[in-house]
């Protein structure tokens, strides 16, 4: 049971992190599309995406797996392995929520939280 739960946590954090990075890099690439002819840009962008994203996905999955293990180990020593896994997942989701809000809406959730306007965001 724990192994399946751990795999779910790592996979979820990997998918969300990879999507965030993919969108960020794609947006940067597309902002330069007017500098090239359409077919040339399309082929060049596809090449760049493949060259950048393939190792990135491999690295990201391994990095998140290692990070998750460390978080779970730290949490396990404090409150048990399931609570540690839950804590690690909540920390990961909180960080990704901050980054997604920053990218999508240009909102700094930490500032919003300290100003007491966090509940107004829902």
pLDDT in tens, 16-48: 888 898 888 888 888 888 888 888 888 888 888
Two structure tokens written together for 48:
């760049």
Q: How many CB atoms within 10 Å of residue 63?
A: 12
- Helix-helix angle 38-79:2-30, to 10 degrees: 150
Cα dihedral 53→59→65→70 (10° resolution):
-130
Q: Give the whole-angstrom CA distance, residue 114 versus residue 118.
A: 8
Would the pLDDT of 14 be above 70? Answer: yes
**Reported pTM:** 0.70
Q: What is the pLDDT of residue 97?
A: 92
Looking at mean pLDDT, say which of 56-60, 71-75, 98-102 comes out highest.
98-102
Q: What is the pLDDT of residue 74?
A: 67
Q: Where are the domains of the chain?
A: 2-121
Q: What is the pLDDT of residue 78?
A: 65
Contacts of 54 (CB under 8 A, 6+ apart): none
């Amino acid at each position: 049971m724990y192994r399946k739960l751990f795999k779910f946590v790592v996979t979820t954090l990997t998918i969300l992190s990879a999507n965030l990075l993919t969108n960020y890099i794609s947006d940067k690439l597309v902002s330069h599309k007017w500098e090239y002819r359409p077919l040339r840009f399309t082929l060049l962008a596809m090449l760049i995406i493949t060259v950048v994203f393939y190792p990135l996905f491999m690295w990201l999955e391994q990095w998140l797996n290692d990070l998750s293990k460390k978080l779970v180990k730290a949490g396990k020593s404090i409150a048990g392995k399931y609570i540690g896994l839950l804590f690690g997942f909540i920390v990961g989701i909180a960080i990704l929520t901050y980054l997604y809000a920053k990218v999508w809406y240009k909102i700094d959730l930490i500032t919003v939280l300290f100003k007491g306007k966090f509940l107004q965001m829902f």
